[in-house]
């Protein structure tokens, strides 16, 4: 982790590819130009080690304090071979948040420069780089992350998995070379897409938690016999602060959560009589509605974010529609009479039809996003724009409509997560076909073209995307991967996931990436086997 942070460039807020100190040199030599793609990979890697960081900052998390503590830890490691933990909060303030903000906003760089391979502007966007950036935004979602780069990264990943590559010609495989599907690249793309489903599920849970919290505020203000009022008669501010501190990544509700954090001082006062509580409820209701409603003077409201995100989705659908119409025009212009062989025209039209099908799959995904954004916005629109009924005798506004609206919005995000899971289940067919192909190749006497790396990543992708994965198929695939591991803890290289025909450079998946892809998170019965497998890799 210390070595990775050494690659950070404080001027660009990006990471170098590598850093090295040559003999007799006082200053390190940096390898590669700092870039967004490598930065996304390194931020994800460093976050995996955050348990080894100190959880509380000693001071305010300012830049000088972080770097002083960091270099002190580095010096102690070199002198005493001991590590002094650095502050995670300070790391987030000084490195992570700055890098993420620059990547998400594509600051000072075009989206093509981020998503295309370094120094190769004539090549198409890389689904691998897009998947890494999308995974980063999924792991640390924020309203500001859902901008143009998010949309283009998502579209790039969707485009890559809706291409029919050989030998299966099934949607769900991805390739950097656009020749044959590779299970490692596919694994990165499908992992990023499955991360979206997980984000939506967590978003739904946060909405339910905030809805319950607003209901509890309403009860404290209106019902003195309620348990919340009795237990937290004078300590509700502390209760509210603790409940809000447990919320993680409240995307879609950040303006509301920020307003709720400002109410601590209101509840800390000694005004707990019914009249004061009623006035407190009125003030909270007004402020929460102002955090929800459309506001031209401030972009930080719930409906502003929903509408801005909706505009981006609509534009993406429109661009896909234009490509569909253009492709359809190509189909109509095909001259069947110029082809002499019977059936030749139909065969020629197969590939354009498949391209059209892939574009419609992409369009379907964005149409699902458009649906949830529209329905969520309509839910909030009703509570902030519909006037109170004149016959209502209660002049004190209740917080229950706001709580119900947030719960209803959470339900819409939950439905969106389910639709995403169904979409991924359709894409899992490629991974299943690749597993079956590799098992077949393994059973052949010569094992011609058998690739254990392909099998390992296809198995992991299949488990992440299939709604009901075949347990026997998965178990057999894992068994073969175990048997294919050599005594030194490595696997045969297998097919490269990228090969440059000009320079003859080839990129292969690392052994530790194979282990990370195979280690299950919930299936404890496989843990001893995986520990033995991982131990062999680490010993090597």
pLDDT grade, residue 498 (50/70/90)?
confident
Dihedral over Cα of 101, 104, 108, 114: its sign: positive
- pTM score: 0.88
Tell me: the pLDDT tens digits for 31-67? 778 888 889 989 988 887 887 888 764 444 444 578 8
Tokens describing residue 363: 């369009």
- How high is the pLDDT of residue 522? 39
Q: Which of the pair, 381 or 335, is modelled with greater confidence?
A: 381
Average pLDDT over the chain reads 84
Q: Which of the pair, 280 or 403, is modelled with greater confidence?
A: 403
Q: Which of the pair, 462 or 530, is modelled with greater confidence?
A: 462
Instruction: Judge whether residue 537 has pLDDT over 70.
Output: no
Tell me: the pLDDT tens digits for 144-198? 888 999 999 999 999 999 999 989 999 999 998 888 899 999 999 999 999 999 9
Of 436, 457, 366, nearest to 158 (Cα)?
Answer: 366
Residues contacting residue 439 through CB under 8 Å, at least 6 positions apart: 455, 473, 476, 477, 480
- How high is the pLDDT of residue 532? 66
- How high is the pLDDT of residue 315? 97
Of 144, 256, 261, 278, nearest to 210 (Cα)?
Answer: 256
CA 144 to chain centre: 14
Mean pLDDT of all residues in 17-23 = 73
Residue 167 preceded by cis peptide, ω within 30: yes
Instruction: Judge whether residue 205 has pLDDT over 90.
Output: yes
Tokens describing residue 101: 């903000």
Total Cβ atoms within 10 A of residue 228: 17
- How high is the pLDDT of residue 181? 92
Instruction: Judge whether residue 313 has pLDDT over 70.
Output: yes
Q: Which of the pair, 368 or 240, is modelled with greater confidence?
A: 368
CB 292 within 8 A of CB 303: yes
- How high is the pLDDT of residue 60? 47
- How high is the pLDDT of residue 255? 93
Q: Determine if residue 167 is left, alpha or beta; phi over 0 gives left, psi from -120 to 50 gives alpha, anything else beta.
A: alpha
Mean pLDDT of all residues in 437-459 = 91
Of 110, 100, 127, 114, nearest to 46 (Cα)?
Answer: 100
Mean pLDDT of all residues in 493-513 = 75
CA 282 to chain centre: 38
């Amino acid at each position: 982790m210390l070595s990775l942070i050494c690659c950070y460039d404080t001027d660009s807020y990006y990471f170098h590819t590598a850093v090295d100190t040559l003999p007799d040199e006082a200053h390190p030599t940096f390898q590669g130009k700092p870039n967004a793609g490598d930065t996304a990979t390194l931020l994800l890697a460093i976050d995996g080690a955050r348990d080894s960081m100190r959880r509380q900052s000693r001071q305010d998390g300012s830049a000088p304090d972080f770097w002083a503590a960091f270099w002190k830890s580095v010096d102690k490691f070199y002198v005493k071979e001991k590590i002094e933990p650095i502050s995670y909060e300070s790391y987030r303030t000084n490195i992570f948040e700055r890098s993420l903000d620059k990547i998400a906003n594509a600051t000072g760089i075009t989206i093509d420069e981020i998503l295309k391979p370094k120094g190769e502007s004539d090549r198409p966007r890389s689904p691998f780089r897009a998947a890494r950036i999308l995974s980063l935004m999924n792991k640390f979602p924020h309203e500001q992350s859902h901008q143009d780069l998010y949309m283009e990264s998502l579209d790039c990943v969707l485009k890559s998995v809706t291409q029919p590559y050989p030998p299966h010609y099934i949607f769900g495989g991805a390739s950097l070379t656009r020749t044959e599907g590779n299970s490692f690249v596919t694994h990165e793309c499908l992992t990023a897409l499955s991360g979206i489903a997980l984000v939506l599920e967590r978003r739904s849970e946060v909405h339910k938690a905030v809805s319950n919290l607003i209901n509890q505020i309403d009860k404290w203000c209106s019902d003195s016999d309620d348990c919340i009022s009795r237990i937290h008669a004078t300590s509700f501010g502390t209760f509210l602060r603790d409940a809000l501190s447990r919320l993680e990544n409240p995307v879609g509700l950040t303006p509301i959560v920020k307003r709720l954090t400002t109410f601590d001082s209101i509840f800390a006062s000694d005004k707990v009589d019914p009249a004061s509580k009623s006035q407190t409820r009125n003030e909270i209701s007004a402020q929460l509605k102002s955090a929800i409603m459309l506001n031209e003077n401030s972009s930080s409201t719930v409906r502003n974010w929903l509408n801005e995100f909706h505009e981006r989705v609509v534009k993406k659908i429109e661009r896909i529609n234009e490509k569909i119409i253009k492709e359809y025009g190509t189909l109509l212009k095909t001259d069947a009479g110029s082809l002499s062989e019977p059936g030749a025209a139909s065969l020629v039209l197969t590939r354009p039809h498949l391209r059209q099908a892939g574009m419609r799959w992409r369009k379907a995904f964005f149409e699902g996003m458009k649906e949830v954004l529209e329905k969520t916005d309509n839910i909030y629109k009703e509570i902030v724009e519909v006037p109170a009924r004149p016959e209502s005798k209660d002049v004190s506004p209740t917080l229950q409509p706001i709580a119900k609206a947030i719960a209803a919005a959470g339900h819409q995000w939950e439905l969106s997560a389910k639709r995403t899971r169904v979409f991924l289940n359709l894409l899992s067919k490629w991974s299943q076909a690749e597993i079956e192909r590799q098992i077949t190749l393994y059973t052949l006497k010569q094992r011609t073209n058998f690739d254990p790396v392909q099998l390992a990543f296809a198995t992991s992708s299949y488990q992440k995307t299939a709604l009901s994965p075949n347990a026997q198929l998965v178990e057999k695939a894992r068994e073969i991967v175990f048997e294919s591991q050599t005594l030194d803890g490595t696997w045969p290289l297998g097919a490269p996931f990228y090969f440059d025909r000009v320079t003859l450079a080839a990129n292969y998946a690392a052994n530790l990436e194979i282990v990370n892809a195979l280690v299950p998170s919930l299936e404890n019965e496989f843990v001893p086997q995986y520990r033995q497998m991982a131990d062999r890799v680490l010993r090597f």
